[in-house]
């Protein structure tokens, strides 16, 4: 047994550290098209002190460490590109505090979003957090490490805009806190202290997020999804703009997909509304359909697709399984809402070229300040040819995003390079300085956001 494995076992216990082939295999792959990247060790700490000791060990041994949450980025962002130790953070899953009055929850970074939702439903049924548009096994720290978004994105923005405090184990092993918790006065705000935003969206390359204070929001008793459909994609931006001006919805998401046929070439905007009273819901429906969208209905270019549907939690969609092969990956990009038509058309072309039924989705972030637009590419894990097609489609989509002035969301290494090639040189060098300062041994998830 290697000295590193021995040391890891001393830190976390024998059961939670491994260098066995089966564990290394499992952690060498994620759900997307990335080639396997093999770690040398896997470790699953329970306490922040254990994380700290693992980081000290990694620095001493000059071995890479890669923190892993739910492992659901699809883009290979928690695959060990340069070997080393995978730190599976999911044992750090405790709820530490809920402050009802100040509407926040403090959790350990490895907790799943599903568990938070379940806890709030049971213990604080009038509060909710933003669960990302991902399976419920997605973790809080993993999601903010990639600037995730989800429920309530329309009124409140990215999930990283909904944070009140952080605890991070730095790449050199010290533990640092950010926000009001840093001055010992609770976990209720990230402001007004000087901005040290070195951790959100960095894919775990600048530290390991161990505690997070998330903002909570009112959870209304009634919640429904209404759908408005148009054929002309050019109408989508103005419809979203008008709905965001109205400001009555919790989420605005437009989708279009080749399959099923009723969705093909049709753009369905899901409008999530909520209220504590039926009258409130009625009023919102009235304002949305009878007032704001009435002109599209009366002119025959749009119609009500559905009203009062149950708002289902995110699940594996049928489109992910088109190839019946347990594989799909998508490119997400942050775009102006006005880009929807071009995003849709170009995405459909790429899909057709690679014989993948197209599926696209645009989620409004903030008050139409941006949109997360995504292109889904399913593949059959057992058929290398479909994997190749999906990978090529992803790369072509990354390039297309750059071409139309978008920014790639949670880019894989290929997309990161495209972004860094175009990035302002001063910004790029600042990224490098920050990284070198925080991580002098270059051990944190190396290969990601790596400035040469």
Partner 1 sequence: MNLDEYKYKDLIHRCFRCGYCKFPTHWDDVTNCPSYARFRMESYSNGGRLWLIYAWLTGEIPWSEHLTQILYTCTSCKSCVEKCPLSFNEDIVNMTVAAKAAMVEMGRLPNLVKKFFQNVQLYGNPYGIDAQKRSDWMNGMPVESYGGQEYLYYVGCEGAYDTRAQKAARATAQLLIDGGVSFGVLGNEELCDGNEVDMMGEEALLENLATRNIQQFSDLGVKNIITLSPHAYNVFKNKYPEFGGHFNVYHSTQIFADLVKAGRLSLPDKSGARITFHDPCFLGRWNDEYTAPRKVIKAVKGADFIEMDRSKKGALCCGGGGGNFYTDFLGGSEESPARIRVREARDAKADILAVACPNCLTMLEDAAKAEGLDDQLKVMDIAEIFCQV
* Footprint of partner 1 (CB under 8 A): 15-16, 18, 20-23, 25-27, 29, 31, 42, 44, 70-72, 88, 90-91, 93, 112, 114-115, 117-119, 121-122, 135-137, 315-316, 320-321, 324-328, 380-382
Taking the complex as a whole, how short is the minimal distance between the CB of residue 137 and partner 1, in angstroms? 3
Closer to partner 1 by Cβ: residue 186 or 326: 326
DSSP states of 282-303: HHHHIIIIIIISHHHHHTTSEE
Q: Please state, in angstroms and as integers, the Cα–Cα distance from residue 163 to each residue in 47, 63, 92, 149, 271, following that order.
A: 22, 31, 18, 12, 25
Taking the complex as a whole, how short is the minimal distance between the CB of residue 179 and partner 1, in angstroms? 27
Taking the complex as a whole, how short is the minimal distance between the CB of residue 136 and partner 1, in angstroms? 6
Closer to partner 1 by Cβ: residue 15 or 421: 15
Closer to partner 1 by Cβ: residue 42 or 55: 42
Taking the complex as a whole, how short is the minimal distance between the CB of residue 309 and partner 1, in angstroms? 18
Closer to partner 1 by Cβ: residue 90 or 389: 90
Q: 348: helix, coil or strand?
A: helix
Closer to partner 1 by Cβ: residue 15 or 424: 15
Rounded to an integer, what distance in angstroms lies between the CA atom of residue 37 and that of residue 84? 10
85-88 and 65-68: which strand pairing? parallel
Rounded to an integer, what distance in angstroms lies between the CA atom of residue 257 and that of residue 360? 6
Closer to partner 1 by Cβ: residue 74 or 257: 74
Residue 77 CB contacts under 8 Å (≥ 6 apart), including other chains: 146, 203, 204, 410, 412, 445, 448
| Residue that the structure tokens 């009625």 belong to | 282
- For the record, the structure tokens of 218 come out as 């009112």
Closer to partner 1 by Cβ: residue 90 or 346: 90
Taking the complex as a whole, how short is the minimal distance between the CB of residue 279 and partner 1, in angstroms? 30
Taking the complex as a whole, how short is the minimal distance between the CB of residue 16 and partner 1, in angstroms? 7
Taking the complex as a whole, how short is the minimal distance between the CB of residue 67 and partner 1, in angstroms? 14
Closer to partner 1 by Cβ: residue 138 or 371: 138
Query: Phi first, then psi: what are they for 173, rounded to 5°?
Result: 105, -15
The pairs formed by 167-170 with CB atoms below 8 angstroms and a separation of 24 or more are 167/48, 167/209, 167/210, 167/211, 167/212, 168/199, 168/207, 168/208, 168/209, 168/210, 169/48, 169/51, 169/52, 169/55, 169/207, 169/208, 169/210, 170/55, 170/206, 170/207, 170/438
Q: Please state, in angstroms and as integers, the Cα–Cα distance from residue 414 to each residue in 17, 410, 449, following that order.
A: 31, 11, 10
Closer to partner 1 by Cβ: residue 113 or 346: 113
Taking the complex as a whole, how short is the minimal distance between the CB of residue 76 and partner 1, in angstroms? 14
Taking the complex as a whole, how short is the minimal distance between the CB of residue 127 and partner 1, in angstroms? 16
Residue 5 near residue 19, CB atoms below 8 Å: yes
Look at the alpha carbons of 13, 18, 22, 23 in this order and tell me if their dihedral is positive or negative. Answer: positive
Our CA angle for 209, 212, 214, nearest 5°, is 145
């Amino acid at each position: 047994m290697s000295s590193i494995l021995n040391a890891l076992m001393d830190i976390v216990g024998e059961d939670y550290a491994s260098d066995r082939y089966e564990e290394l295999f499992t952690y060498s792959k994620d759900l997307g098209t990335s080639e396997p990247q093999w770690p040398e060790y896997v470790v699953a700490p329970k306490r922040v002190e254990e994380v700290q000791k693992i980081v000290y060990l990694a620095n001493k041994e000059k071995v890479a460490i890669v923190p892993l949450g739910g492992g659901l980025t699809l883009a290979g962002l928690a695959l060990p590109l340069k070997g080393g130790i995978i730190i599976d953070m999911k044992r750090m899953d405790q709820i530490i505090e809920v402050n009802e009055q100040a509407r926040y929850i403090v959790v350990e970074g490895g907790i799943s979003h599903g568990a938070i939702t379940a806890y709030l439903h049971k213990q604080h049924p009038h509060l909710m957090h933003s669960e990302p548009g991902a399976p419920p096994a997605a973790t809080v720290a993993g999601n903010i490490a990639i600037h995730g978004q989800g429920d309530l994105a329309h009124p409140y923005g990215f999930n990283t805009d909904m944070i009140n405090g952080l605890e991070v184990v730095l790449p050199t092993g010290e533990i640092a806190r950010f926000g009001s918790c840093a001055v010992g006065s609770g976990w209720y705000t990230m402001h007004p202290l000087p901005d040290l935003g070195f951790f959100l969206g960095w894919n775990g390359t600048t530290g390991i997020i161990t505690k997070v204070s998330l903002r909570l929001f009112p959870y209304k008793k009634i919640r429904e999804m209404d759908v408005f459909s148009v054929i002309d994609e050019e109408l989508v931006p103005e419809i979203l703009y008008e709905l965001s001006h109205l400001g009555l919805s919790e989420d605005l998401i437009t989708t279009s997909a080749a399959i099923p046929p009723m969705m093909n070439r049709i753009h369905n905007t899901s409008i999530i509304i909520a209220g504590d009273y039926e009258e409130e819901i009625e009023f919102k429906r009235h304002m949305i359909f009878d007032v704001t969208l009435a002109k599209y209905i009366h002119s025959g270019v749009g119609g009500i697709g559905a009203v009062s549907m149950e708002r289902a939690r995110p699940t594996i969609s049928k489109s992910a399984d088109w190839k019946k092969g347990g594989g799909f990956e998508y490119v997400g990009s942050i775009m102006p809402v006005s880009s929807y038509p071009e995003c849709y058309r170009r995405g459909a072309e790429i899909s057709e070229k690679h014989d993948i039924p197209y599926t696209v989705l645009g989620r409004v972030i903030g008050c139409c300040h941006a949109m997360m637009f995504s292109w889904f590419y399913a593949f059959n894990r057992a058929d290398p040819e479909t994997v190749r097609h999906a990978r090529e489609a992803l790369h072509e989509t990354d390039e297309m995003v750059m071409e139309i002035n978008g920014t790639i969301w949670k880019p894989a290494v290929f997309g990161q390079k495209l972004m860094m090639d175009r990035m302002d040189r001063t910004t790029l060098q600042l990224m490098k300085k920050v990284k070198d300062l925080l991580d002098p041994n270059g051990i944190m998830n190396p290969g990601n956001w790596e400035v040469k």
